[in-house]
Structure 1
Amino acid sequence: MAAAFVGTFSYTGDTWAATNAAGIVSLIYLLIFLYRVARPPLPAKWRWWTRGIGLVTIAGTTFFWAGMYSTTTWQVETLHTIHKVIFHGVSMDLLRTKGMKILSTYATQNEANKLSIGEIFRKETTLANPDSSIIEIAGDNRYRLFAEAVTDTHVVIVCQSIIRIDGELTTFKNFDGRTGMTQDRVVVTKRGVAYEIQN
């Protein structure tokens, strides 16, 4: 049993897969044990009772096990969905706030000294360091904003979660080099702000 658990966990890294493997080994052991116990010289009446009680116990345990697995899987999936909803909500707020601030500054400029969208972004945005695309966010270390593209006509800002939150596509290439994580972005032009859920 222990060997099945450790071997499966070492190979898959999945606790439930390892637990199921150990459970299958236990079931095989119990069936063999039940077969060996419920045979002559045990009287026929006691053999039937032993088999019946043993099979009911095994069936009940299997049913309980399946229910527990189903409940746990549902809870994990629900929690993951909640994490994604929270991420996209916070991301939308961060990106749209940043985008609307740039657009508002652009729209209210003096015509004589008008700056481009990209120039306004550079003027109003603090980067982690001059060579970095990471935008500093005051007081929030759970999310990270990146300047994906900055030109005179448009600015593209990407938002990712620092902790891993898997998105819909496992093969999606995130801006920071990781794969499969949630990611949103906003595109700011003089015409407006376009928000997009990328993964």
Structure 2
Amino acid sequence: MKRKTGILLAGLATLGGAVAGAGLLHNRRADRREHLHVTVFSEPGYRGRNQRLTWTGGKREVVPLARVRLPRIGSIKLERLVYHFQPGVQLPNMLLLWHALTDRPDPGDPESGLPSFIAVHQLAGMFSVGEWLPVPEPEARSGVRLWAGRPGSPPAVRDDADPSGARPWHDVLADAPDLGSWSTRTRWLELRYHDRTGSRD
């Protein structure tokens, strides 16, 4: 039994180290996938009817205004979240684990299986997992591009632009309490990553 216990503990330590290393590596990656939550309001100042859209990163998502079911978009709130691992290994109580592996339960004693129950519970919870944390505004990579016409690739500036020659799109990279003329111009919303230069990715 001692040999099996040693092998089990060595395996747990190896697994714990692998989990901790992978978690730390994930946290340091600059390209971690953001989850973008977009709340669109029908009126400026975050008033009126509202709808919430969620994008989990990856391929851009194009949403027609009709799907939002609002007559117009007066204001927008953005929330970006990224998963942050908290790698850490909490080894279970060795005495309880030893008893769980070596003791045979006594059918006449209802508490004889208690060490096994506690040891299994400790094993299940020995790895901390993590949590979703907000992304600071300067580090955010996702946003919404509002389109006056159907998004194209590359964008058809000459076809979709208004008479003033303005771009056929407008990027929203932070909370926007008043979208101005884009409140009535917007026909499509594109949820995507951006590089803050206006180029498409």
TM-score, normalised relative to structure 2: 0.25
Higher RCO (C-alpha 8 Å, min separation 6): 2
User: What is the TM-score with the length of structure 1 in the denominator?
Assistant: 0.26
More strand per residue: 2
Bigger helix fraction: 1
Larger Rg: 1
